[in-house]
Chain A
Amino acid sequence: MYHCAILRYAAHLLEKGLLVQHGLGGSIRKLLTSLVVCGAAIAGVAVVLDVWARVRPPHAYGYCVSCHGRDLVAWLVNHLLHVQWEISEPGRYGPIVTVAGLLLGAFLASALTGERRAQRATVAWRSLAAGALAAILALVALGCPVHQALLLGYGDWLAIPALAAFYGGASLGTMALGRWAERRQ
């Protein structure tokens, strides 16, 4: 796509012109692709949004895909249809658009590195059902797993059974899918 090509060229110029010249290209790339840095950055951004930008209450509300998505949907519906759907306190002051930023950030990163590729859906109905179930379950269970980990860092004891159950469910699901794949072969 045209705009992706422009972004890629900009990244190429930046890398060749600035970073490689000073020998920084490799180390910056390593930092950006490190899981440790990403986890720390998510925690840092979430705490800054929570403490400084006052995205609270509830506790540790700086980053949560499902809760912030719920706030955005509820804000839009409340303003368009004049109803009173449940919304968090910071969500009443203005739209919480973390999910829009997340999508744009991931789009820019993938376009800059040439990883963006349009792929057709292979299991559309399964993904649709999984998405709907995941949203409802996450909203019942304190929020998305990242929010549960943030709550654990904050010191809320409810995050311990939530994360333990999440990883218990994940291991059960992995083993069940493995067995199912073996049987199909």
Chain B
Amino acid sequence: MILLCTFAGGLVIGFLAQRSRFCMVAPMRDFILTRRWAVWSGVASLAVVSFGLYSLAIHWGWVARPFTPFSARLVCLIVAASGLLGIVSVWAEGCPTRQHVLAAQGNGNARFYLLGFYVGIVIYLALVVTPLSGLLGW
């Protein structure tokens, strides 16, 4: 069940992301380089529609209201990692979703990015996750 649902969801997103060239980092890059606002429409619609749908789901009791306790260490870590992710995404010319789409389109650089991406996941699981849990006290 979970296999079929996630595969179908990925298929729809992959199809539309290829047709519309959806990317999370392109709006900021294009805004700085060309002062164009229009590319923000994808990110804005993603945030607005997910806000609307989650508000309805919370209102009808399908999902619980989010609650995340404050932890200064966690916020610092997330801000540092997310900032570096922004720099790396500009350096790689696309966010992870866009790189998957480009690799499926036949782009050689994106194929190497994907290879590095899954090697990075293995490195994270084998070497990073245990010290990280210790640092955050999980």
Contact = CB atoms under 8 A, between A and B. Distances in A.
Size class of the contact patch on chain A: 35 or more
A126 to B, nearest CB: 7
B41 A36 contact: yes
A175 to B, nearest CB: 7
B75 A161 contact: yes
B contacts with A: majority SS: helix
A139 to B, nearest CB: 5
Contacts of B75: 158, 161
B30 to A, nearest CB: 9
A168 B79 CA distance: 10
A105 B50 contact: no
Contact of A141 (B19, B62, B85, B95): B85
B122 to A, nearest CB: 6
A105 B106 contact: no
A89 to B, nearest CB: 11
Interface of B: 1-3, 5-22, 24-25, 28-29, 32-33, 39, 41-54, 57-58, 62-63, 65-66, 68, 74-75, 77-92, 95-97, 99-101, 103-126, 128-129, 132
Interface of A: 32-51, 53-56, 59-60, 62-63, 65-66, 68-70, 73-74, 77, 85-86, 90, 93-110, 113, 115-142, 144-146, 148-150, 152-158, 161-178
26 contacts: A38-B42, A39-B46, A47-B54, A49-B6, A53-B9, A55-B5, A60-B50, A62-B9, A97-B3, A105-B104, A109-B15, A109-B18, A116-B105, A122-B109, A134-B120, A135-B96, A135-B119, A135-B120, A137-B81, A137-B84, A153-B52, A154-B54, A163-B82, A166-B86, A171-B32, A177-B90
Given A32-B20, A42-B13, A119-B108, 8 more contacts: A35-B20, A38-B45, A107-B104, A109-B18, A129-B116, A134-B117, A166-B83, A168-B86
